[in-house]
Amino acid sequence: MRIVSKQLSLNVDLPPCAALPQRLLVLNIETTGISAERNQAVLIGCLTRAGDSWDLIQWFDETGTEERQILSSFLLYISGYLADGGAVITYGGERFDISFLNKRLSANGLNSLDPDLVHVDLYKEILPFKKFIGLPDYKQQTVENALDIQRPSPMDGAGIAGLYGQFLQFRLPASAQRILDHNEADLAGIAQMLPLTAFRQLRDPALTLRRAQANYYTDHDGREKEELFLFFRLSDPLPLPVGGGADHCYFRIEDADGVLKVPIYTETLRYFYANYKDYYFLPEEDMAIHKYIASYVDRSRRLQARPETCYTRKTASYLPEWDLFRTPFFKRAYTDDSLFFELTDELKRDRAQLSAYASYVAAHILKTAG
């Protein structure tokens, strides 16, 4: 077994919003294949934060028979490093690295990793937002390129098994070094991808409104339309720009600054009363009134209200909602699923409520279009 240790200088900014622990252990493994039942681990690499630098340690099976040794050494190291708490950081490790290691630990008669181990899989940090990031794929090196992370070893991990086989057959030191260098590049890349944890802000967005602005425009049919721009700021910048839309609402975020575009509907909508049996409908006035008032209306001009006719109408400017964000809510028709609330002058001056609405709309887009 060969053990490599050295110190790396990496520029890594940890987003405060991610609330990561102080002790971080970046993990990446190299194997002879993807099946833990038929293949084995040949290299385990760890990168731990040490002040402004990072400590690298790698355990390499130089003979093809030392898997149990590298697993034992790794298990002892990780148990000691994370004894007082911390987190393991991977990219795609939930599906592969952690699962593979536990199966190989078991196959070698060793204890599995602590089931209470805190594991941050950076792939899963961005998984809910893939459609809004818009990369061609989400392989590690693709994401690294998007983050402008400079990788010294561009080799694809799929070639490691063949390279390791060549090393065992011909004992070429250069082959072993290429495997070690690739693993180091993966570890350094994962560490530098830690800013992806800033996407946690979008799981349950709480946006801080900077300003609101109405905009008038003419659509492609020549109709005058109005929309509301909500400019907001995140607590921490996102490492990648995101954008998307749903239900005629759109958003865009670059760094920490973002904007939401929401349609304003100026039209006549209906407010439906709850207890229709207490109301009469006046067809000529196209509205419902309570039975106490209706007693003064000629019987020929009134009908017992039904759920779909128990309403009053109001012409105003409205914003969309998809559940009861704000009441009273208005509809175009009783069976219509679209809901609206009035954009009042009071609401226009209420920064806290507009911040809450911006957060609500962003959450709706992320949930609907994600």
| 8 contacts 47 by C-beta, under 8 angstroms | yes
Residues 6+ apart with CB under 8 A from 285: none
pLDDT band, residue 354 (cuts 50/70/90): very high
pLDDT per position as a tens digit, 221-241:
888 999 999 999 999 999 999
Q: Output the average pLDDT for the chain.
A: 95
Partners of 364 in the beta sheet? none
- The residue type found at 51 is G
| 149 contacts 193 by C-beta, under 8 angstroms | yes
Proportion of the chain above pLDDT 90, given as a percent: 92
pLDDT per position as a tens digit, 72-88:
999 999 999 998 889 99
pLDDT at position 157 over 80: no
The CA distances from residue 186 to 14, 44, 130, 179, 191, in Å, are 18, 11, 21, 11, 9
Q: Residue 221: what pLDDT?
A: 86
The DSSP H or E segment spanning 280 is: strand 279-282
Q: Residue 191: what pLDDT?
A: 98
Q: Residue 50: what pLDDT?
A: 80
pLDDT band, residue 306 (cuts 50/70/90): very high
* Arithmetic mean of pLDDT, 257-281: 97
Domain 2-201 has CATH 3.30.420.10: yes
* Arithmetic mean of pLDDT, 276-295: 94
pLDDT per position as a tens digit, 192-223:
999 999 999 999 999 999 999 999 998 888 88
* Arithmetic mean of pLDDT, 291-309: 93
| Domain edges within the chain | 2-201, 208-273+310-369
Name the pTM for this structure: 0.92
| 323 contacts 305 by C-beta, under 8 angstroms | no
Q: Residue 51: what pLDDT?
A: 79
> How many CB atoms are located within 10 Å of the residue 104 CB?
23
Buried b (16+ CB within 10 A) or exposed e, 36-64: beeebbbbbbbbbbeeeebbbbbbbbeee
Q: Residue 158: what pLDDT?
A: 72
* Arithmetic mean of pLDDT, 168-182: 95
pLDDT band, residue 41 (cuts 50/70/90): very high
